[in-house]
Amino acid sequence: MPAPTNHFKQRLARGERVIGCWAGFADPYATEVLGTAGFDWLVIDGEHAPNDLRSIMAQLVALKGSDSAPVVRLPMGEAWAIKQVLDAGAQTLLIPLVESAEQARDLVRAMRYPPAGIRGAGAALARASEFSSIPDYVQTANDQMCLLVQVETRAGIAALDDILAVEGVDGVFIGPADLAADMGFPGNSAEAEVAEAIRDALGRIAASDKAAGILAVDDATAQQYAGWGAQFLSVGIDVVMLAKAARDTVKLWSGRG
């Protein structure tokens, strides 16, 4: 019995558009709720949500029966953190602030067992191997790894063609907020210069053998990004959804006192 098939990786490879959402409550109960909504993928955000290895693992467990594929974002692409989260059962990683092909190659290697990479062989006690119930996990896991790198600085954009040439990178995600900030327009990814950089980058990624990804928090922007070539498209953030719904409810009733 081989390592679990990464259906999300297969869908990207087939060129399917897949719609996702950010899971930012760092709580398995909230992520389990999201997992019933019908999203194709969910980002368990270890960069900007208060997650740690145990909360990430608890959310992987919560999504085990869901059709929503878990995508785990780490704070940075450190090999030791990648080793831990893969052993916890993650198969798709979103790694922020990638700015070179060398960095991308190092991430590919960190996600794979030797000789293709440097992932430590601890599967015997790992959730990923179902605690050794998958006897050939180490021999079959590499093929199920899905690496999504975030390009979200001017340096990353400049290195995009080189990053796109790296074997083992499955997708490139453009981070609009960080890119806008790095370009001198913090908080304004709709600024013409930033929007043009996003449009150009999504087009170049879509023309490559990688999947293009991005996040939008309003429908008009999401539609625009889809038209520019976004294939794995996140269309919301759970925390923002709840906060907005709560404020709208208060606004609705505040005038009815």
Ligand X SMILES: O=C(O)C(=O)C[C@H](O)[C@@H](O)CO
Residue numbers annotated as active site? 48
Q: Which residue has the tokens 């700015």?
A: 99
178 is an interface residue for ligand X by CB under 6 A: yes
176 is an interface residue for ligand X by CB under 6 A: yes
x-or-dash string of contact with ligand X, 17-56, rule CB under 6 A: -------------------------------x--------
Distance CA 166, CA 162 (A): 7
Q: How far is the CB of 153 from ligand X (least distance, A)?
A: 9
241 is an interface residue for ligand X by CB under 6 A: no
Q: How far is the CB of 130 from ligand X (least distance, A)?
A: 31
- The piece of 137-145, 175-183, 200-208, 248-256 that touches ligand X (CB under 6 A) is 175-183
Distance CA 205, CA 67 (A): 26
Residues 194 and 203 sit within 8 Å (Cβ to Cβ): no
Question: Residue 175 pairs with which residues in a beta bridge?
Answer: none
DSSP class of residue 170 equals -
Closest to ligand X by CB, 3 vs 104, is 104
The count of C-alpha atoms lying within 13 angstroms of the C-alpha of 31, restricted to the half-sphere facing its C-beta, is 31
Distance CA 193, CA 225 (A): 15
Distance CA 231, CA 203 (A): 11
Closest to ligand X by CB, 177 vs 241, is 177
233 is an interface residue for ligand X by CB under 6 A: no
Q: Which residue has the tokens 């997992």?
A: 35
Q: How far is the CB of 176 from ligand X (least distance, A)?
A: 4
Tell me the residue number closest to ligand X, measured at CB.
Answer: 175
Q: Indicate the SS3 state at residue 215.
A: strand
Q: How far is the CB of 215 from ligand X (least distance, A)?
A: 5
Distance CA 181, CA 49 (A): 19
Strands (E), the chain: 18-23, 41-45, 69-73, 92-95, 146-151, 171-174, 211-215, 232-237
Contact with ligand X (CB under 6 A): which of 150, 153, 221, 231?
Answer: 150
Q: How far is the CB of 29 from ligand X (least distance, A)?
A: 21
182 is an interface residue for ligand X by CB under 6 A: no
Closest to ligand X by CB, 150 vs 231, is 150
Q: Indicate the SS3 state at residue 151.
A: strand
- The piece of 106-114, 155-163, 174-182, 201-209 that touches ligand X (CB under 6 A) is 174-182
Spatial CB neighbours of 106, under 8 Å, sequence gap ≥ 6: 77, 79
Contact with ligand X (CB under 6 A): which of 42, 44, 95, 215?
Answer: 215
Interacting residues with ligand X (CB under 6 A): 48, 150, 152, 175-178, 215
